[in-house]
Amino acid sequence: MPLPPLASPAIGVGTWAWGNQFLWGYQPGQDRALEACFRRAVALGLHFFDTADSYGTGRFNGRSEVLLGRFAAALPAEQRQMICVATKLAPFPWRLGRQGLEPALQASRRRLQGKLDRVQLHWSTARYAPWQEAPLLQGLADGVGAGVVPQLGISNFGPEGLRRIHGLLAQRGVQLSSVQVQMSLLAPQAIGPGGLVAVARELGVEVIAYSPLALGLLTRPAGELPPLPSGPRGWLFRRLWPNLQPLLARVEQIASGRGASMAAVALNWCRAHGAMPIPGLRSEQQAEAAAAAMTWNLEPAERLDLDRLALSQPAQARMPANPFGSR
């Protein structure tokens, strides 16, 4: 049976940087700007917020959830109800068995001040501890049955893993809401026949595209190497830059033809493939640029052109794959 045409998904907000000093240079002095970003995002219709119990480095561990919980609690009740806060629980090796995620779930709910709408398993353990995964998911499915896990999602699973987990939950009558995957013009592996996007669409599972701006690389105009961010991001920018020029030039061309930002073009490429991008945002201006992308769609010819350029990028010019991703 032919599948229905794709509706244009919304755009969400990623909060990995909120509390991450190591990669993103977080300082508590940024909290005021982060709250302004959050409020602007909510006001402009960016209603899905992604966080994780492992976000925040060193003494800031858990900070992303703490900030989201605080910001959401300060919203008027009707806005608070409108947004969806999704956390990811990490399947650390010591979190074992059907009740293995229960303390983590309670801790996340506390940090989020009760505003927890979706729980996602952060990554698949299929590559290194295949026995760990099913009991953890059964435990989360128990939580759905008991009403303590409103919605359930997974993250960093490939098409095979998605089928496996969807089947496991379907046997219990539990719906899998979403699957999260690294997806951008520099990580296009999920598109194409038999890929994650196609399987998710067949199963009726929402696809969430993480790192849709390739950590910001896709927002830099082609040409000279731009000023490098500090730390590992700078190293990545320097390594990938020489091979990105035709792709960035085309993104820039589409953006300037519409008076849009390059970020909007990169986000709309994800949406054109039926995925909801969750760009990492830290300022009101970035929230505005992301929201502006929801006002237009790529033309099919533009999408095809970007597909061709993305898929023909040499392997060394793509984003590194998540080491915990399963097939």
Ligand X SMILES: NC(=O)c1ccc[n+]([C@@H]2O[C@H](COP(=O)([O-])OP(=O)(O)OC[C@H]3O[C@@H](n4cnc5c(N)ncnc54)[C@H](OP(=O)(O)O)[C@@H]3O)[C@@H](O)[C@H]2O)c1
x/- track of binding to ligand X for residues 207-226 (CB under 6 A): ---xxxxxxx--x-------
E-assigned strand segments in the chain: 13-14, 48-50, 84-89, 118-121, 151-155, 178-182, 206-210, 275-277
Least distance in Å: CB of 56 to ligand X? 12
Q: Is the Cβ–Cβ distance between 45 and 39 less than 8 Å? A: no
Whose CB is nearest to ligand X? 14
Least distance in Å: CB of 62 to ligand X? 14
Stretch that binds ligand X, among 9-17, 30-38, 72-80, 109-117 (CB under 6 A): 9-17
Of the residues 30, 54, 108, 180, which one makes contact with ligand X according to CB under 6 A: 180
Helix (H, G, I), strand (E, B) or coil at 86: strand
* DSSP state at residue 62: T
Of the residues 189, 261, 268, 313, which one makes contact with ligand X according to CB under 6 A: 261
Least distance in Å: CB of 168 to ligand X? 20
Kindly state whether residue 187 participates in binding ligand X, applying the rule CB under 6 A.
no
Of the residues 87, 124, 125, 286, which one makes contact with ligand X according to CB under 6 A: 286
Residue type, 18: W
Stretch that binds ligand X, among 32-40, 94-102, 143-151, 279-287 (CB under 6 A): 279-287
Phi and psi at residue 153, to the nearest 5°: -135, 170
Long-range contact pairs involving 233-236 (C-beta distance under 8 Å, separation at least 24):
233/23, 236/319, 236/320
Residue type, 186: L
Phi and psi at residue 230, to the nearest 5°: -75, 160
Q: Which residue has the tokens 């003494």?
A: 59
The verdict on whether 55 is a catalytic residue reads: yes
* Closer residue to ligand X, CB minimum distance, 98 or 324: 324
Query: Rounded to whole angstroms, how far apart are CA atoms 238 and 27?
Result: 25
Of the residues 281, 291, 298, 306, which one makes contact with ligand X according to CB under 6 A: 281
Which 129-158 residues touch ligand X, going by CB under 6 A? Answer: 155-156
Report the interface residues with ligand X, using CB under 6 A: 14-17, 50, 88, 155-156, 180, 210-216, 219, 261, 263, 278-282, 286, 289, 322
Report the catalytic residues: 55
